[in-house]
């Protein structure tokens, strides 16, 4: 045996091991968790088409936050925050960015296919009825006798009965027109409908894009009429979460990291959005992202308690509202609807 070659072989192996160790160390410095296993695939439904409301997700994807958590996340555009629940229930998706209130109704009626919220985004609900001043609707009761345009998968439409109950509106005296999401605001401007349901940012910025001045738009927030509800959250199939707890924890960590990055540098989030959807109007979507942080996400409560921190009492009151409005036979508990066990430390969720 050639001792020189044996020595060279051993030296080469040592050098290879040292190189691999160096790569692992660099990965740890970069915040990447090395894994000997294949990435966990997560099929994720967004709330809406690619726009400012979900730009942070494209920033996460662009910066590799999901991959660094050992995840292979597929982001698909949505058709409404309520549709996320049915998408997950169908088995086509594992998780999504959807409305927690619609999920309460689903869980109450389908205990065998329960979903749960693992991160609450919207501390203040953006659900609203939106109208134009020219239609003379000054208060909710003025909606009686009017036609409201609403996509059936729109959360504002799904939860309108709660708003009607709080404001004394007789649902039988309102006509609803099922409209395509992209036609909702144009039909409002044209006069085919006199009001629409939706999220404030979605409808307002669509109207702005149609040339409607802000002072001509009137927004009736559900939250201003006693519906202090949480709204859009990361929702997951409980079966998937039980099978892949580490993946869900990694997903939540990546999402929190992405939203904090978007809060610090919203232009970077919009740049990632434009890279994904080149026809995006950056100025409008940037303004929309600022709007969401200012009005729904980085609220006084979220700044004081941390992004994603939930008040159990408030959530239970929200569950009561949904159960009462839809006359549900079963009331899910707070523990069934929400878990904070996947949240990263509070220090990582504090707004600067």
Mean pLDDT of 84-113: 96
- Residue 284, token pair as written in the block: 């409008």
The per-residue pLDDT for 153 is 80
CATH number at 40-123+230-349: 3.40.190.10
The per-residue pLDDT for 154 is 85
Number of residues that make up the chain: 352
| Predicted structure pTM score | 0.84
DSSP 64: T
Domains in the chain: boundaries: 40-123+230-349, 127-225
Q: What are the CA-CA distances from residue 94 to residues 12, 76, 91, 237, 352 (Å)?
A: 45, 12, 7, 6, 31
DSSP 52: G
CB 159 within 8 A of CB 101: yes
- Band (pLDDT 50/70/90 cuts) for residue 325 is confident
- Could you give the CA distance from residue 150 to residue 145 in angstroms, rounded to a whole number? 16
- Could you give the CA distance from residue 60 to residue 217 in angstroms, rounded to a whole number? 34
Lowest mean pLDDT segment, chosen from 199-203, 258-262, 337-341: 199-203
Mean pLDDT of 23-28: 43
- Band (pLDDT 50/70/90 cuts) for residue 316 is very high
* pLDDT tens-digit map of 216-232: 999 999 999 999 999 99
* pLDDT tens-digit map of 122-158: 999 999 999 999 999 999 999 999 999 999 888 899 8
The per-residue pLDDT for 22 is 47
* pLDDT tens-digit map of 148-187: 999 988 889 988 999 999 999 999 999 999 999 889 999 9
Topology given in CATH for the domain delimited by 127-225: D-Maltodextrin-Binding Protein; domain 2 (3.40.190)
Percent of the chain with pLDDT over 70: 89
* pLDDT tens-digit map of 114-126: 999 999 999 999 9
The per-residue pLDDT for 65 is 98
Percent of the chain with pLDDT over 90: 84
Residue 82: CB atoms within 10 A of its CB come to: 26
The per-residue pLDDT for 66 is 98
Closest Cα to residue 163, out of 332, 330, 327, 325? Answer: 325
Closest Cα to residue 48, out of 160, 111, 126? Answer: 126
| CATH fold match for the domains 40-123+230-349 and 127-225 | yes
- Could you give the CA distance from residue 251 to residue 235 in angstroms, rounded to a whole number? 11
- Band (pLDDT 50/70/90 cuts) for residue 35 is very low
Mean pLDDT of 180-209: 95
């Amino acid at each position: 045996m050639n001792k020189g070659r044996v020595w060279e072989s051993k030296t080469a192996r040592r050098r290879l091991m040292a190189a691999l160790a160096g790569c692992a160390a660099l990965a740890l410095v970069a915040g990447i968790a090395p894994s000997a296993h294949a990435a966990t695939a997560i099929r994720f439904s967004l709330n809406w088409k690619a726009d400012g409301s979900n730009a942070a997700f494209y920033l996460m994807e662009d910066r590799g936050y999901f991959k660094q958590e050992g995840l292979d996340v597929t982001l698909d555009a949505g058709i409404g925050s309520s549709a996320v629940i049915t998408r997950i229930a169908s088995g086509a998706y594992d998780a999504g960015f959807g409305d927690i209130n619609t999920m309460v109704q689903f869980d109450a009626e389908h205990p065998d296919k329960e979903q749960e919220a693992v991160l609450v985004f919207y501390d203040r609900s953006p659900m609203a009825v939106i109208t134009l001043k020219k239609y003379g609707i000054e208060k909710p009761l003025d909606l009686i006798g009017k036609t409201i345009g609403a996509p059936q998968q729109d959360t504002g439409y799904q939860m309108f009965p709660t708003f009607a109950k709080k404001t004394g509106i007789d649902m039988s005296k309102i006509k609803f027109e099922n409209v395509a999401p992209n036609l909702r605001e144009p039909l409002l401007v044209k006069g085919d409908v006199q009001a629409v349901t939706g999220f404030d940012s979605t409808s307002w910025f669509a109207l702005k894009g149609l040339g409607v001045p802000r002072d001509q738009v009137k927004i009736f927030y559900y939250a201003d009429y006693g519906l202090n509800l949480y709204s859009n959250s990361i929702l997951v199939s409980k079966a998937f979460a039980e099978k892949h707890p580490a993946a869900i924890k990694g997903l939540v960590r990546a999402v929190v990291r992405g939203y904090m990055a978007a809060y610090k540098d919203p232009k970077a989030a919009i740049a990632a959005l434009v890279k994904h959807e080149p026809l995006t109007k950056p100025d409008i979507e940037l303004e929309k992202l600022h709007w969401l942080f200012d009005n729904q996400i980085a609220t006084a409560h979220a700044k004081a308690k941390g992004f994603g921190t939930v008040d159990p009492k408030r959530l239970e009151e929200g569950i009561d509202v949904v159960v009462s409005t839809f006359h549900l036979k079963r009331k899910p508990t707070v523990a069934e609807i929400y878990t904070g066990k996947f949240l990263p430390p509070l220090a990582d969720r504090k707004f600067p």
